[in-house]
Amino acid sequence: MTTIKIKGMTCGHCVMAVTKALGSIDGIRDVQVDLEKGEAAFTEEKTVDRALIRERIAKAGFDVAD
């Protein structure tokens, strides 16, 4: 399982938006977003480009923390 930090989430709608954004990426499944921790965890079925993950999270209105 891969875990990334996400900045800017404040509510359940944010969690749904991040879940949908990550779930739409080919090769990512089992997305779990933790609002309190500001994290998203997911399983990669194949290697996924981190730039693509950042792009999709940005389009949803959030930032991936380094």
CATH number of the domain where residue 57 is located: 3.30.70.100
Q: Which helix (H) or strand (E) holds 30?
A: strand 28-34
pLDDT band at residue 15 using 50, 70 and 90 as cut-offs: very high
Determine the Cα–Cα distance for residues 64 and 50; give it in Å rounded to an integer: 10
Determine the Cα–Cα distance for residues 59 and 65; give it in Å rounded to an integer: 15
Number of domains in the chain: 1
Q: Which helix (H) or strand (E) holds 3?
A: strand 2-7
Please tell me the predicted confidence (pLDDT) of residue 28: 97
Strand partners, 50: none
Average pLDDT over residues 19-42: 96
Q: What are the tokens at 22?
A: 């990550």
Domain with 42, as residue range(s), is 2-65
Please tell me the predicted confidence (pLDDT) of residue 66: 74
Q: What is the mean pLDDT of the chain?
A: 95
Average pLDDT over residues 31-47: 96
Residue 61 has pLDDT above 80, yes or no: yes
